[in-house]
Amino acid sequence: MKSAVILFPGTNRENDAIAALEQASGVKPQLVWHGETDLPKVDMIMVPGGFSYGDYLRCGAMGANSPIMREVAKAANAGVTVFGVCNGFQILTETGLLPGALMHNASLKFICKRTQLKVESNATNFTSAYETGQVITVPVAHNEGNYFADVDTLDRLEGEGRVAFRYCDEDGVVSDATCLNGSQRNIAGILNEKGNVLGMMPHPENAIDPLHGGVEGSPLFTSIVNSMS
């Protein structure tokens, strides 16, 4: 699997993304600067986390207008797999590749901790190596992770099986108490209509090494690789 990782001013998770993709695929991704106007021919693109442009305007809004994102959007619309994490998720919503928006956490505080996620379905290119309903633990680190969309959009995401992950407790219970940032319906990650674009706030790329506290993010990257075979 050939992959690319997009780098913006302020990105701080590009090396984590590279490590996760290389571990899963055996091939080191290409790093692509946001100002480029051409994408290498790849099977998968990852938009990593960080604070593109310092989040000085609206999180992801400036990154979404970088020249390379026009090419990422074209690739996504052509069926190339695209995965956005944290600020990458924000950028994907700002480009219109995913619906909704990410707002300030309900607590109005930056959240940095490990949290539990419920895998809603393993019938996706990003979750096939998990079990449906499986609870995984991964880190979060964000100030604007509160997912918002109108009711019609939320109902459509639910009805089409496009909610990939929800915040939950260790037993998989989904409730207001387990929603650490205020996201509607505890949504932590969503898919586009074609199923080739995933955006999520938590950081699975930071859960691929037991020395870092766990490896429960690894199956996500394995799933992506398996979807290419």
Enumerate the active-site residues.
86, 203, 205
For tokens 């790093």, what's the residue?
31
C-alpha angle 221/131/186, rounded to 5°? 85
C-alpha angle 88/183/56, rounded to 5°? 45
C-alpha angle 104/110/115, rounded to 5°? 100
Q: State the DSSP code for 28.
A: P
Contacts of residue 210, Cβ cutoff 8 Å, sequence gap at least 6: none
Tokens representing residue 72 in the block:
């990422």
- Residue 127 C-alpha from the chain's centroid: 12
Rounded Cα gap, residues 4 and 86, in angstroms = 17
Strands in the chain per DSSP E: 3-7, 30-33, 44-47, 81-85, 101-103, 111-119, 135-142, 146-148, 163-168, 187-191, 197-200
